Amino acid sequence: MRNDLFIGTRLTLNDAESSELLAGGIFDLDYSSKSFRLEASRRIGPGYTLSIEGQLFLDIDPRDPLAAFATDDFIRIELTRYF
């Protein structure tokens, strides 16, 4: 039996820049492992969008199924131009 807790939120500002934020965390109550994820985007000027995405794994117990991902932390920043 898995004993996990997920907490997350989504925020969409409905503004002219289409600002969005998606964030969440998974907490394994059996092994005390934690995983956090963030996604955000916003238009900047005409024709450009800035996006950020990241994943972080903390205190991953070697017995936890998440152990296979323990070193897979990342952050990605992307600037997209539309024409």
Ordered by start, the domain boundaries in the chain are 4-81
The answer to whether the pTM exceeds 0.75 is yes
Inter-residue contact 43 to 21 (CB < 8 Å): no
Q: What angle do CA 30, 33, 39 make, to 5 degrees?
A: 130
On the question of pLDDT at 1 being above 80, the answer is no
pLDDT tens-digit readout, 19-70? 999 999 999 998 899 999 999 999 998 899 999 999 999 999 898 888 898 9
